[in-house]
Structure 1
Amino acid sequence: MFLSGHSTPRLGIDLAGGTSITLQARSEPGQESAVNQTNMNTAVGIIERRVNGLGVSEAEVQTQGNDHIIVNIPKGTNEKQAREQVGTTAQLYFRPVLQLASGEPAPEGSATPSASGSPDEAEKGDGGEAGGDKATEGGDEATDGGSGEPEATPTTQGRAASGALKADATPSPSGPAEDDADPTPSPSASAAEPSEALQKKFEALTCTDTEERTEASEGTKPAEPIVACGTNAQGQWEKYILGPSAVAGTEVDDATAAIDQQGAQGWLVNMEFTDKGKKQFADVTSDISAKPSPQNQFAIVLDGDVVSAPYVREPLTGGTAQISGSFTQESAQDLANMLSYGALPLSFVEESVTSVTAALGGEQLEAGLIAGAIGLLLVVVYLVVYYRGLSLIAIISLLMSAALTYTIMVLLGPAIGFALNLPAVCGAIVAIGITADSFIVFFERVRDEIREGRSLQPAVARGWPRARRTILVSDFVSFLSAAVLFVVTVGKVQGFAFTLGLTTLLDVVVVFFFTRPLLTILARKKFFASGHPWSGLDPKRLGVKPPLRRSRRTVPADPKEA
């Protein structure tokens, strides 16, 4: 426990405080009716999965009124990362790239900013049906494998900003000759020329200016070209003119982060499309694969920002793709979360962010702990009065169970993000009765055997199998109840169910591997084996009657005849 660097459990927002974010729903122009209860509930589910994709962080997501969502993030979670996950709530789109240039201010005295370094690469993988298409992140990777790959740098939103598809080292004969050194688009080759106003907006845009980036993404519609910004693998800002949306983010069926098993590039992101998305993705990649760079790129746009911009050599028709490169586990998981949960039915704006104190939760916790301590004390008093010496075994077993529960809760904090909240504490208190009940069942079986006239060691050996069945059935019912409650509920109630299920499993471990061996050892001690009045196994106190002595009649060797 201490080797992990943690000695106390992570606490939920009700016990440790945290951050509360209020989001207001906004519909797209002309779709005012989209702000309805159904879409709000869908958005709550997506945001909850997105935030908890960072771990079982016990984040609370719930609606308030008709158009607000409240997100409570407990202290101890990566709050900055979680806020970024919550804040990027606009719809996700795949758009073709029309123009690309540096988005950083040009040095004084220099000419118009030139296009940025070579874009990322996209190719179709071998056997799209079996292995799926493969995407590789990294801006300057040579197709012959001769050059190194720059290290991906997370964007300001905490995710890698460039991506590329890759498979065959040899370019497709149908694809155009590449010129990575000069990715500047040829205006004549553009399938859809941007308007003069959009071109001026593109030339004047400076991506390092937050206000300019925000204004550029405001009021954009899926069916219209837009101007957007993103960062490349080296962390440099780039600006884009993007065509109308070709694939909506809702057509991404699933996206997961995984370790690249075939190369030394660390982590990658796997994408799967729906049937509709598969056709749309095949159409857009078929169209742009025959164009010069950067018009053979498509941009993944979330909340007005380009989060990845791979380029394509061949049509990608397998319905799956991979984005790989110099990802870390965190950046790959962030991008996978954005792809999986980025497409919300509504757009949201962050209305307010407030800090939540743990004062009220602390008072409730104190009251709960006092109630738990009183209950535990009553259980101990009952055990001492009724079981006497056996109560020592029960108390030590309870302490062992408490130590295991505490240790596992501490370890689960950094492992899966488990946070201890008030309902979870309630579940742990309820578990005291479940654990004590197991000891009572075992002790009573042993005492029943003694009542039948057996000594202590045979009584323990014969009583355990009968007690074991009863304990397992009882704990199974308790665990099943906790499992069902965990599945059908959300939020804090899941904390209660999780703790109850965990302590039920630990009860089985303690009874089988600690209580029974301890009683077996103590059964050999004279204090317990002799049935001392304070052992709890006194035959007289248990109502055991000594066996009747039968008189022996002497039969004469030579019986007399009558």
Structure 2
Amino acid sequence: MPSQTTHARPGRVLAGFAAFIVALVVLLFAGSQWGSAQLTPKLGLDLEGGTQLVLTPVLSGQETEIQEEQLDQARDIISQRADAGGITGAEVTTQGGRNIVVSMPGVPPQEVEDAIRRSSQLQFRPVLVVQPVGGLTPAPTETPTGTPTGGATPTDGSTASPTEAATPAASPTTNSGPVPEGFAAEATETAEPTPEPTATEPVAPAPTGEPTSATDPAWITDELIAEFESLTCTGGDDTTTEQDPDTAVVACRDTGTEKYILGPVVVDGSGIADASAGYQAGPTGQPTNTVEIALELTGDAREAYGQISTEMVQLPAPRNQLAAVLDQQVIVAPFFQSAILDGRASITGAFTLEEAQTLAQQLKFGALPISFELETRDQISPLLGGEQLRLGLVAGMIGMLLVFVYSLFQYRVLGFVTIASLILAGIIVYLVVTILGWRYNYRLDLAGITGLIVAVGITADSFIVFFERIRDEVRDGRTVRSAVDAGWERASRTILAGDAVTLLAAGTLYALASSNVRGFAFTLGLTTIIDLIIVFFFTKPMMQWLVRKPFFGEGHPWSGLNPQLLEARNPKYAGRGRVRGPILEGAR
């Protein structure tokens, strides 16, 4: 039996849904009056035009040519920077094996242009404090004494078996675990667990006195603590201001799961001669199952690395971790198992070979001191223009009208529920896309409009599933009111399963596709979520409210829920060649 509470207070659900739409309207209107919001969605490069920047690399040192793989890496970094302020739909390509062409909708702010051209210099900074987003693990301020005998676990969740690491003041019992991220010639088998952090634990007060080394907690000032506590690691933080290499800074993990207070730069990334990923060799020279990233340092970096590793290997966690920072994001923060004096280091950890290869590429090419000078800066016209936009909107309107006609023909007055649901879905999509353009610089391109048009059919399909389940229950002899509840229990599972598959496909497409197709995937996923909101918070309670009225509840012939008409128009199959419902005249 269906739950009798499913239609207890449909009016309250409808009132809450109306309040949600009003809140979106008020937010957008307030943003347009007192902020930078506009009342129409922002358009992408293909519909509005924009700015094209042609960048030429500037090489330092004795470099005279840029390699193709270096240029590809720089293109990927610039693409991430161009979209750092939101889903802009920027296009970044290479030209002539040397230049990089950046096409962005509208006129990019000066800080975005500066960030695109800025050198992608890799830096190594010691970790002073690390906090999982939502919790805190402050760095111990006391330096242990005595001969180091145990290991320390980095706070990124990996466990370790170092051969030479400092024992914290309190020595917990060691546990076995997989090899973590860490610098070492080889790894052994035990690790010390780090206590689980809590969200309410405050940051340790700023130490007093002048710092004596890059790992000294005295670098932590009250201002730095305030900046650290305000860091959200959700994409809204300032990543355009270049950080001073000679002072402590805050940074987020590239995964967004942790944030750090880091000391001054101790090794410049330009000192990395090579970085490669593969399987670590065993004592006999045969490859093992342990994935490693092999680093080779040269010149002054080798000496600096040896000095900092000798100092940090004696420190407690997390101050024995050295963070590699690229574009103000920590890409890896391994701890030292031993001093690295020969300039050859190995990073091992709980990552796959593919992940290690990606990280090695970041370490190798992120270390190149490549900046870009602006060769040309031009305004470009829309790639498609207003005519394609108009035709796209016309196609969407035609699709909506066809759905309206079908709904009225198939469901009679009940079809107006479908029409109202689609109109409300369109209003919410318009409001959400416009607000995203204001808050996250989302721009609607033709691929995105295509996703909106496709979503009309997906949304209509949810209503058809619901209505047909109701009609099936009516054919089974239920009252119209009870048929709504019974039909919803069955239809909701189908709707959720169908939308889950669509969301999975949209998410996969967004993650793997190019910028043009990502617009389609984004709007498809967005409208699928809005479809669920409409069905659960408007269509369902609206049906529960309507069946309380005699016109629908008693099955008026024009309601679309009349039992006699449903049986006559579509007898239900009962198995073994039999149907339930009126039989044709003269038949036996």
Give TM-score scaled by structure 2 length. 0.55
Q: Residue in 2 aligned with 1:490?
A: 514
Deviations 1:78-118 (A, max 9, x none): x21121112124655789xxxxxxxxxxxxxxxxxxxxxxx
* AA partner of residue 74 (structure 2): A
Shift of 1:245: 8.0
Q: Distance in 2 between matches of 1:496 and 1:61?
A: 18
Percent of aligned pairs sharing the same letter: 37
Q: Distance in 2 between matches of 1:163 and 1:249?
A: 23
Quick one: structure 1 residues 126 and 76, their matched pair in 2 at CA, closer, same or farther if it must change by over 3 Å?
Answer: farther
Q: Residue in 2 aligned with 1:459?
A: 483
Q: Distance in 2 between matches of 1:404 and 1:25?
A: 45
Quick one: structure 1 residues 431 and 282, their matched pair in 2 at CA, closer, same or farther if it must change by over 3 Å?
Answer: same
Residue 18, structure 1, aligned to residue 81, structure 2: no
Shift of 1:435: 0.3
Q: Residue in 2 aligned with 1:353?
A: 377
**3-state SS of the aligned residue for 1:473?**
helix
Shift of 1:440: 0.7
- Does the 8 A contact of 1:431 with 1:503 survive in 2? yes
Which residue, out of 40, 62, 71, partners 2:71? Answer: 40
* AA partner of residue 527 (structure 1): F
Q: Distance in 2 between matches of 1:467 and 1:147?
A: 57
Q: Residue in 2 aligned with 1:57?
A: 88
Q: Residue in 1 aligned with 2:551?
A: 527
Q: Distance in 2 between matches of 1:361 and 1:125?
A: 65
Which residue, out of 527, 532, 540, partners 1:503? Answer: 527
Q: How does 1:388-403 map to 2 (within 5 A)?
A: 388-403=412-427
Shift of 1:25: 4.7
**3-state SS of the aligned residue for 1:532?**
coil
* AA partner of residue 67 (structure 1): R
Shift of 1:387: 1.2
Shift of 1:443: 0.9
Which residue, out of 532, 538, 545, partners 2:562? Answer: 538
- Does the 8 A contact of 1:278 with 1:317 survive in 2? no
Q: Distance in 2 between matches of 1:65 and 1:146?
A: 46
Q: Distance in 2 between matches of 1:493 and 1:387?
A: 36
Quick one: structure 1 residues 50 and 70, their matched pair in 2 at CA, closer, same or farther if it must change by over 3 Å?
Answer: same
- Does the 8 A contact of 1:93 with 1:247 survive in 2? no
Q: Distance in 1 between matches of 2:94 and 2:498?
A: 38
Shift of 1:496: 0.8
Larger radius of gyration: 1
Deviations 1:505-554 (A, max 9, x none): 22122112211111111011111123222212233432359999xxxxxx
**3-state SS of the aligned residue for 1:40?**
helix
Q: Residue in 1 aligned with 2:471?
A: 447
- Does the 8 A contact of 1:10 with 1:76 survive in 2? no
Shift of 1:344: 5.0
Shift of 1:286: 6.9
Quick one: structure 1 residues 399 and 18, their matched pair in 2 at CA, closer, same or farther if it must change by over 3 Å?
Answer: same
Which residue, out of 304, 323, 335, partners 1:284? Answer: 304
Quick one: structure 1 residues 348 and 359, their matched pair in 2 at CA, closer, same or farther if it must change by over 3 Å?
Answer: closer
Q: Distance in 2 between matches of 1:141 and 1:351?
A: 48
Q: How does 1:16-415 map to 2 (within 5 A)?
A: 16-25=48-57, 34-36=66-68, 38-75=69-106, 77=108, 79-89=109-119, 142=210, 158-161=241-244, 163-165=246-248, 247-248=271-272, 276=295, 283-284=303-304, 318-320=320-322, 335-336=328-329, 343-344=367-368, 348-358=372-382, 360-415=384-439
- Does the 8 A contact of 1:281 with 1:319 survive in 2? no
Quick one: structure 1 residues 464 and 336, their matched pair in 2 at CA, closer, same or farther if it must change by over 3 Å?
Answer: closer
Q: Residue in 2 aligned with 1:177?
A: none
Shift of 1:418: 2.5
Structure 1 residues without counterparts, runs of 5 or longer: 96-123, 133-139, 167-242, 254-273, 290-315, 324-332, 549-562
* AA partner of residue 284 (structure 1): A
- Does the 8 A contact of 1:15 with 1:361 survive in 2? yes
Quick one: structure 1 residues 91 and 532, their matched pair in 2 at CA, closer, same or farther if it must change by over 3 Å?
Answer: same
Shift of 1:45: 1.2
* AA partner of residue 426 (structure 2): A
Quick one: structure 1 residues 435 and 403, their matched pair in 2 at CA, closer, same or farther if it must change by over 3 Å?
Answer: same
Q: Distance in 2 between matches of 1:415 and 1:428?
A: 20
Quick one: structure 1 residues 425 and 482, their matched pair in 2 at CA, closer, same or farther if it must change by over 3 Å?
Answer: same
Shift of 1:432: 0.6
- Does the 8 A contact of 2:323 with 2:331 survive in 1? no
- Does the 8 A contact of 2:56 with 2:100 survive in 1? yes
**3-state SS of the aligned residue for 2:320?**
coil
**3-state SS of the aligned residue for 1:54?**
coil
Shift of 1:317: 8.5
* AA partner of residue 447 (structure 1): R
Q: Distance in 1 between matches of 2:384 and 2:467?
A: 42
- Does the 8 A contact of 2:506 with 2:522 survive in 1? yes
Quick one: structure 1 residues 80 and 466, their matched pair in 2 at CA, closer, same or farther if it must change by over 3 Å?
Answer: same
Shift of 1:405: 2.1
Q: Residue in 2 aligned with 1:558?
A: none
Q: Distance in 2 between matches of 1:364 and 1:416?
A: 25
Q: Distance in 2 between matches of 1:486 and 1:376?
A: 26
Q: Distance in 1 between matches of 2:423 and 2:508?
A: 28
CA RMSD of aligned residues (A): 4.9
Deviations 1:37-67 (A, max 9, x none): x333222212112222333332211223433
Quick one: structure 1 residues 487 and 90, their matched pair in 2 at CA, closer, same or farther if it must change by over 3 Å?
Answer: closer
Deviations 1:280-308 (A, max 9, x none): 8684277699xxxxxxxxxxxxxxxxxxx
**3-state SS of the aligned residue for 2:566?**
coil
Shift of 1:485: 0.8
Q: Distance in 2 between matches of 1:31 and 1:246?
A: 12
- Does the 8 A contact of 1:361 with 1:422 survive in 2? no
Q: Distance in 2 between matches of 1:319 and 1:414?
A: 39
Q: Distance in 2 between matches of 1:377 and 1:391?
A: 12
Quick one: structure 1 residues 527 and 278, their matched pair in 2 at CA, closer, same or farther if it must change by over 3 Å?
Answer: farther
Q: Distance in 1 between matches of 2:550 and 2:218?
A: 78
Shift of 1:76: 6.5
Q: Distance in 2 between matches of 1:359 and 1:61?
A: 15
Q: Residue in 2 aligned with 1:309?
A: none
* AA partner of residue 320 (structure 1): L
Quick one: structure 1 residues 540 and 39, their matched pair in 2 at CA, closer, same or farther if it must change by over 3 Å?
Answer: same
**3-state SS of the aligned residue for 2:51?**
strand
- Does the 8 A contact of 2:417 with 2:539 survive in 1? yes
**3-state SS of the aligned residue for 1:433?**
helix
- Does the 8 A contact of 1:92 with 1:342 survive in 2? yes
- Does the 8 A contact of 2:124 with 2:322 survive in 1? no
- Does the 8 A contact of 1:19 with 1:353 survive in 2? yes
Q: Distance in 2 between matches of 1:319 and 1:540?
A: 76
Q: Distance in 2 between matches of 1:31 and 1:146?
A: 36
Q: How many residues align?
A: 388
* AA partner of residue 80 (structure 1): Q
Q: Residue in 1 aligned with 2:449?
A: 425
Residue 515, structure 1, aligned to residue 539, structure 2: yes
Give TM-score scaled by structure 1 length. 0.57
- Does the 8 A contact of 1:92 with 1:250 survive in 2? no
